Amino acid sequence: MSEIKRADLKTGMQVIIVMKENQRTGKLTEGIVKDILTKSPKHPHGIKVRLVRRTPMEKPEKLEELRK
């Protein structure tokens, strides 16, 4: 997976993330970015964001649709 940079993220963007409580399982959550919490341009563990609304993804194949 390519490294995400802070500059690649914008408020209002639809994203797919792994919530902190799901890091062990890797369960994905879809949501809209409210705030970008990481101040540095990049981070080895990823950029932390706050979501406006979030939905656990029931069908991981939806990830492929969003990549198009």
User: How do residues 6-60 score in pLDDT, each as one tens digit?
Assistant: 999 999 999 888 888 888 988 888 889 999 999 999 888 889 999 987 777 765 5
Between 41 and 65, whose confidence is greater? 41
pLDDT at position 64, please?
56
pLDDT at position 20, please?
87
pLDDT at position 60, please?
57
Phi, psi (rounded to 5 degrees) for 13: -75, 145
pLDDT at position 58, please?
62
Q: 2 is in which domain, residue-wise?
A: 1-44
Domain contains 53: no
Domain contains 30: yes
Measure Cα distances from 68 to 12, 64, 65 in Å.
Answer: 19, 7, 6
The domain total for the chain is: 1
* pLDDT higher than 60, residue 61: no
